[in-house]
Structure 1
């Protein structure tokens, strides 16, 4: 990860890292259903109870 970019809050960085670790395609590259699935798979701890 480049260090020359603007410093990012540690918690915000953790959210971005979680998304990257899921290895899902970017939300904008698929259908709405694929984006929902990618979001749910990328950020399960942020979803809350369903």
Structure 2
């Protein structure tokens, strides 16, 4: 197991993670749900929990 402490700021991981997230959000948005809004709210809530 590899621990990547901040994968979204790691140049080797950021691209694939962002691409995978976009693909998933696009699929959910295609069903008529507002996945982008939920994703942004989840990121904001996560940021608020960081100590």
Same fold (TM over 0.5): no
- Flag the structure with more relative contact order, 1 or 2, with Cα contacts below 8 A and sequence separation at least 6: 1
Query: In which range does the TM-score fall when normalised by the shorter chain?
Result: under 0.3
Q: TM-score, normalised by structure 2?
A: 0.27
Q: TM-score, normalised by structure 1?
A: 0.27
